[in-house]
Amino acid sequence: MKLGRLWERCAGRFQRESSVRIARRPFRMRTATPIISFSFDDFPRSALHVAGSILQSQEIGGTYYTSLGLMGQTAPTGEIFHREDLARVLAGGHELGCHTYAHCHSWDTSPEEFEANIKRNSTALQELGIHAPLESLSYPISGPRPGTKRRARKYFSGCRAGGQIYNSGEVDLDHLKAFFLEQSRDRPEAILAMIDAAVAANGWLIFATHDVDPDPTQFGCTPELFELVVAHAIRSGAKILPVSASLREIGAIREA
């Protein structure tokens, strides 16, 4: 058993290091002010109807990473978005991002299948009559394989992972760091401190979570916590932008 656990730890470390260090797309951020983004993976309906309303009340847009193959289902993160929610995202000043069609495990899925799911997700969105561009990707479940990073960069200006830290200086556009709220939901002071640290570093802090509900799943947070974080983000003086707008702000997307 001890040998098995050691092997699992070594394999996990290899996976994490490979995701971060191999097949990088380095880019030096250029921004005069710090940036904060709010993003939601999968996305559960509560992320829009609860968290989205909180953001809209402050005239803030979020980014909703969408797996069209999950539409209308109930997942471990709660009830997933319905067809009409896609239009509501855009009408509310938010943006849609890609989370692959079938919510593919970013390490266990072959790069070829992962790329096929990127294409299928975009096609499915078009077939629903939603013609908004998907400019960024969130890797589902885990960090990506290096080969997956190389394929994803053909379609997106930036690809978001995890890491529980902000982005600053030279970043990897194929492995942008994010801070998942649920991992510190019992320590709100740690979340607020991360905002302060990102602002002090003139960085880009991408918050991520799933459901936002009074009784959240293990992958989400409460509306009270989300409101607390949004209020502190506003007080920090950072620009609060969706992910694609942030990519433009740092110079990673240049308008034609």
pLDDT in tens, 154-208: 999 999 999 999 999 999 999 999 999 999 999 999 999 999 999 999 999 999 9
pLDDT for residue 20: 85
Instruction: Determine the Cα–Cα distance for residues 24 and 73; give it in Å rounded to an integer.
Output: 35
Q: Is 217 exposed, middle or buried (0-12, 13-18, 19+ CB in 10 A)?
A: middle
**Quick check: helix, strand or coil at residue 140?**
coil
pTM of structure: 0.94
CB 93 within 8 A of CB 34: no
Low-confidence ranges of the chain (pLDDT < 50): 7
Sign of the dihedral defined by the CA atoms of residues 253, 138, 207, 70, in that order: positive
pLDDT for residue 174: 98
CA separation (Å) from 243 to 2, 40, 74, 133? Answer: 42, 11, 26, 13
